Homo-oligomer: A and B are copies of this chain.
């Protein structure tokens, strides 16, 4: 395998990965960064084909890589990962420094349960931030510059997050701040605004501010929606573009949430086709139900499937799961 052949193989893989179309010799000469004529490329491609790296879907088509071709590509060219690839993943770090909520697990499991029962896509929306009240706030030292922020809420659930500090902080100050914050925020909803107050003690004020800042971020997290089983729509529709259209819409979580809210606010349990008012979901229906915790409607669950869905079965499942979830959360 000489250098030019390798370059051609690489260009074919790159191009095919991007466009999913067989790659022709003249196309490659134009855009592939290979500085020889199409005829030369054809000769090389021919060799590459005989060596098993490329193949043709049919005689008069361009080439696509074989498994062997991909294998060579991976073994030879991957590892050159330039940093630009890495930096676009900066969110990863952030993700792993934040622990995730306890309620979240319940909701996503519930969503999964519902999708398994019905074979349609299931949605569970968490409580809106206003309905969850803070009971107490604790700061726990992990190491001198790392503090674990714990929020115990009125449902007894615990949300936690790791704070990175700019400077070291004294153990005793942690308790102080915990007390200040708890006093200040007890009984307030988790996402509420709060202005830090000066105590005249700089490190304490600083920590207070950091903690309050980070508390704000929970607002976004608690206004939550869990969609599972989206892939089930692939079974519900024959046309692949319908499948894609519906999947794309389901990914817009805010749309799904407001859809469910709309249906519920009309006092309905079922919305059908055009009733949804969302063009891409014209061939879908939605079945919803709120779940009630301690007499209060905390959130809702819903189900998205094709208009030709099995309504009796789905309604039964949605009702069952919403009562189940309500009861479970009431127990605390």
Contact = CB atoms under 8 A, between A and B. Distances in A.
Contacts of A110: 95
A1 interface: no
Interface string A1-41: 00000000000010011001000000000000000000000
Contact of A275 (B67, B89, B274): B67
B104 A92 contact: no
Interface string A164-184: 000000000000000000000
A42 B132 CA distance: 57
Interface string A225-241: 00000110111001110
B89 A117 contact: yes
A96 B328 contact: yes
Contacts of A239: 240
A85 B81 CA distance: 54
A244 interface: yes
B78 A315 contact: yes
Contacts of A142: 331
Contact of A93 (B86, B244, B324): B324
A126 to B, nearest CB: 13
Contacts of A91: 113, 117
Contacts of A324: 92-93, 95-96
Given A285-B70, A308-B16, A320 B117 contact: no
A308 B67 CA distance: 10
Contacts of A101: 105
A89 B320 contact: yes
Contacts of A74: 270, 272, 311
A70 B307 contact: yes
A263 to B, nearest CB: 13
Contacts of A250: 231
Contact of A313 (B20, B85, B320, B327): B85
Contacts of A67: 272-275, 307
Interface string A87-104: 001011101110011101
Count chain B CB atoms within 10 A of each CB in A109, A247, A327 and give the residue with the most: A109
A71 interface: yes
A233 B231 CA distance: 9
Contacts of A307: 65, 67, 70
Interface of A: 13, 16-17, 20, 64-67, 70-71, 73-74, 77-78, 80-81, 85-86, 89, 91-93, 95-97, 100-102, 104-106, 108-110, 113, 117, 142, 230-231, 233-235, 238-240, 243-244, 247, 250, 270, 272-275, 285, 307-313, 315-317, 320-321, 324-325, 327-328, 331
30 contacts: A20-B238, A20-B308, A65-B307, A67-B273, A67-B274, A67-B307, A70-B273, A70-B311, A78-B270, A78-B311, A78-B312, A80-B312, A81-B315, A85-B316, A89-B316, A89-B317, A89-B320, A91-B117, A95-B109, A97-B328, A102-B105, A108-B108, A231-B231, A231-B234, A231-B250, A234-B240, A234-B244, A235-B244, A238-B240, A239-B240
